[in-house]
Chain A
Amino acid sequence: MTTVSSHERKRLHPHKFTMWVALASIVMMFAGLTSAYIVKKANAKWLEFELPDVFWYSTIVILLSSLTVHLSVRSFKAREMARYRVLIGITAALGVMFVVLQWIGFQQIEAGGVPLFGFDSNPSASFIGIIGGLHGLHVLGGVVALVYIFLRAYIGAKKVYSSTGLEIAATYWHFVDGLWVYLFIFFKWL
């Protein structure tokens, strides 16, 4: 077994790799939705409206959270557990804050007389509601994963010293961050 495992150690961890494939899969879902958006935009009765400014704030918040999750991985690896605890807490809080800001953004769109759903809605607004909502769900999934990994490091009979799980969650976190930047540019300027 020694020869085999030393041979395998050089490769990417299977779970990390699985996450990369999963990300490709999520990319395809949003690619499907955004291309549907482009197709639909070319059809008649497309409503143009401005995105509220609060989406700028949410973008800044999620970019910040990417920074904090990156730093938290570094502190975990350096075994600076106090710093790690603070940083991961901030990241999770920023994640929740992002979703709240998105929610406020959707409310502001509706308040501006553009309903997202319902019979008087226009697909241009519904798309933002659905794509933004799905993205928000993915961010919340990331928050759950971070909290789980955080708790796992402290609660339970055995402590986890491997940073693999955290690194996988961080990869995911950077991904949903990048995904939002793409979606924001897409909605704002396309």
Chain B
Amino acid sequence: MSNEAVLHSHDVHSHDDHHGHHHHESFISKYVFSQDHKMIAKQFLITGMVWAILGGLMSVLFRFQLGYPDAEFTWMKDLLGKWVNDKGQITAESYYSLVTIHGTVLVFFVLTAGLSGTFANLLIPLQVGARDMASPFLNMLSYWFFLAASLVMLSSLFVETGPFSGGWTAYPPLSALASAQPGSGTGMDLWLIAMALFVVSSLLGGLNYIATILNMRTKGMSMTRMPLTIWALFFTAILGVLSFPVLLSGFILLIFDRNYGTSFYLSDIFITANNVGALPNEGGNAILYQHLFWFLGHPEVYIIILPAMGMVSEVLSVNSRKPIFGYMAMVGSLFAITILAFLVWAHHMFVTGLNPFLGAFFVLLTLLIAVPSAIKVFNWLTTIWRGSIRFTPAMLFAIGFVSLFISGGLTGIWLGNSALDIHLHDTYFVVAHFHIVMGVAGIFGMFCGIYHWYPKMYGRYLNNTLGYIHFWVTLAGAYLIFWPMHYSGLAGMPRRYYDYAQWESFKQFGDLNKFITIVAMIVFAVQLLFLFNFFYSIWKGRKVRSQNPWGATTLEWTTPINPGHGNWPGEIPEVHRWAYDYGKDGQEFIPQTTPVGSNETNHH
């Protein structure tokens, strides 16, 4: 079936219409129940941004507790009610809830749905030359399942016993026993429902992305002519489609343990709270959940970072006015990371009593990831090496991504060693590592994409000055927040604790914690500046006047400045070359749609 037929198979009337004049769209069909991939991308982005702000605010709140454990912020009582005790401090219970929901929301709702949901939807049809996704309807459902998941998760913040508070990994028994603590009650039920909806959303999305990339490329767009963004989003979707179902199976067993008295994860448990006493469950194995969880959980970190890598590759090349260095090596390393992602999950479980002999293999496979990662880093550096660099905000965020990926990646080599992990496990060193390499790097990839493709999304530019302030404060802030955590982590400071004041060994980090809290507040404030820039520019930003403002080669810049549903008013353009002909034969750039000239040098 052709693109045309797929796009309009739900709409008989428009079969004969020319694409230039569109059938009438009501407000509801255009903005709410939209089946246009570009609108769905914006829906994912804005919902993701709402969650980023909420999740970020949560981190500021628990940083208050860590930085000022003795302060009495009585005004917080007025804002947060029962989350704050009478002295004006966040209660221990709500501290754990904040940490848990911050993790869940940032990993899944922001950096999975907000990142790959946005850019897979926006870029896949535009860059492979398709009028829409393979199934625009499933694509719409994918967003609505995500929104439903969001609403259920949001509602859990308001239940009386509070949201779930057993950590974002939801290990049993805290997640399996409603009586274990207040947060394990209704909050956990809602958490599970939200996550199940989220898995469905992510599967529907992933199916579509894979089918679109493999089946709906325009004429001439062979796999090796695709921009690296598409390769990255392709592998991301494969990771999601193959690993989220395993998480779902883990959740299903958990639901039965919670509600139907089975003993998959539970054995020999005694609860002192509320005089519950000994539980009848026998023969369960809590580690089984960890295996199922981390079989998704590890690929999940690549689900977050691969789209960022793809966009960074594209933006670095466009703004260095040079072809990407080692295109096939970039594709190969993405592939290697995808394979290895499924083979390293037990490195999260070195201290669970895992057989050290087995652990050795997981160490080896984990350290192997350094090889494709290093290939990518060197290729990025050689791409910008002696380029004519244009320091747009998108480019700065791309370079910032590379910097963060190196800093955070190196500590991954430490943590991947099972011997070192005995000391480092569950300390602030881990927090520093994954926040830099996955959290902040992922967010930087997302900002890089937003600044670069904003003109395509809204037909206007973001304000550059605000963009530069946003970049420099965020970069400096990210390092100032997470760099010191390496030191406290090496000193053995455990993560997830409510108050360190009782420990002689960790008291010394009191001032450091205060410093981190202050920087966290400043960085959060700067994100509000970005938020202002984003929404202000939708209506008041400088208008895009040229079709191809960055001088890029890829297909999305051959569409009109404000493309309608269907993307190209006439025929879909044909592709004649790869996406990285910059500075070739003395020409600044050659779009993919330009036929190969007879006097051209070697050609991809």
Contact = CB atoms under 8 A, between A and B. Distances in A.
Contacts of B12: 158
A119 interface: yes
Contact of B263 (A5, A8, A30, A121): A121
B291 A7 contact: no
B316 interface: no
Given A17-B134, A24-B241, A122 B6 contact: no
Interface in A112-128: 117-123, 126
Contacts of B249: 29-30, 32-33, 36
B503 interface: no
A11 B260 CA distance: 47
Interface stretch (B214-222, B317-325, B411-419, B483-491): B214-222
A188 interface: no
Interface residues of B, number: 52
Interface string A2-37: 011101110111110110011011101111110010
Contacts of B253: 33, 36, 130
Contacts of B246: 28-29, 31-32
A123 B263 CA distance: 6
Interface string B1-22: 1111110000010000000000
A168 to B, nearest CB: 11
A119 B281 contact: yes
A91 B12 CA distance: 31
A48 to B, nearest CB: 13
B208 interface: yes
Given A12-B215, A14-B211, A17-B214, A29 B135 contact: no
Contact of B134 (A14, A45, A121, A130): A14
B215 A45 contact: no
A190 interface: no
Nearest to A17: B211
A28 B249 CA distance: 9
A40 interface: yes
B264 A117 contact: no
Contact of A1 (B210, B250, B280, B572): B572
A123 B1 contact: no
B4 A5 contact: yes
Contacts of A36: 249-250, 253, 264, 288, 291-292
A153 to B, nearest CB: 16
Contacts of A118: 260-262
Contacts of A30: 249
Contact of B291 (A8, A39, A119): A39
A146 to B, nearest CB: 19
A44 interface: yes
A9 B1 CA distance: 6
Interface in B455-471: none
Contacts of A158: 12
A8 B207 contact: no
A5 B284 CA distance: 56
B196 to A, nearest CB: 12
B571 A43 contact: no
Contacts of B252: 33, 130, 134
A44 B263 CA distance: 12
Interface in A139-165: 158, 164
B261 A18 contact: no
A57 interface: no
A46 interface: yes
A67 to B, nearest CB: 28
B212 interface: yes
Given A40-B288, A45-B282, A130-B252, A32 B219 contact: no
Contacts of A121: 261-263
Given A9-B2, A18-B211, A126 B256 contact: yes
Contacts of B262: 117-118, 121, 123, 126
B562 interface: no
Contacts of A39: 285, 288, 291
B356 interface: no
B374 interface: no
B295 interface: yes
B332 interface: no
Contacts of A18: 134-135, 138, 207-208, 210-211
A93 to B, nearest CB: 29
B243 interface: yes
B569 interface: no
B135 A26 contact: no
A8 to B, nearest CB: 5
A29 B208 CA distance: 19
Interface in B245-261: 245-246, 248-250, 252-253, 256, 260-261
Interface string B202-237: 010011101110111011000000000000000000
B280 A40 contact: no
B81 interface: no
A4 B285 CA distance: 55
A74 to B, nearest CB: 22
Nearest to A5: B2
B256 A14 contact: no
B219 A43 contact: no
Contacts of A46: 283
B242 interface: yes
B359 to A, nearest CB: 16
Contact of A40 (B2, B6, B242, B264): B264
A25 B207 contact: yes
B541 to A, nearest CB: 34
A119 B283 contact: no
Contacts of B211: 14-15, 17-18, 21
Contact of A21 (B210, B218, B284): B210
A44 B208 CA distance: 43
Interface in A39-83: 39-40, 43-46
8 contacts: A3-B574, A5-B3, A14-B134, A18-B134, A25-B241, A39-B285, A121-B263, A122-B283
Interface of B: 1-6, 12, 134-135, 138, 203, 206-208, 210-212, 214-216, 218-219, 241-246, 248-250, 252-253, 256, 260-264, 280-285, 288, 291-292, 295, 571-572, 574
Closest 8 CB pairs of A and B: A5-B2, A29-B245, A45-B283, A14-B134, A32-B246, A32-B249, A119-B280, A18-B211
Given A5-B3, A36-B292, A122-B283, 18 more contacts: A4-B218, A4-B571, A13-B215, A17-B210, A18-B207, A21-B241, A25-B207, A32-B250, A39-B291, A40-B264, A45-B283, A117-B256, A119-B261, A119-B263, A123-B263, A123-B264, A123-B283, A158-B12
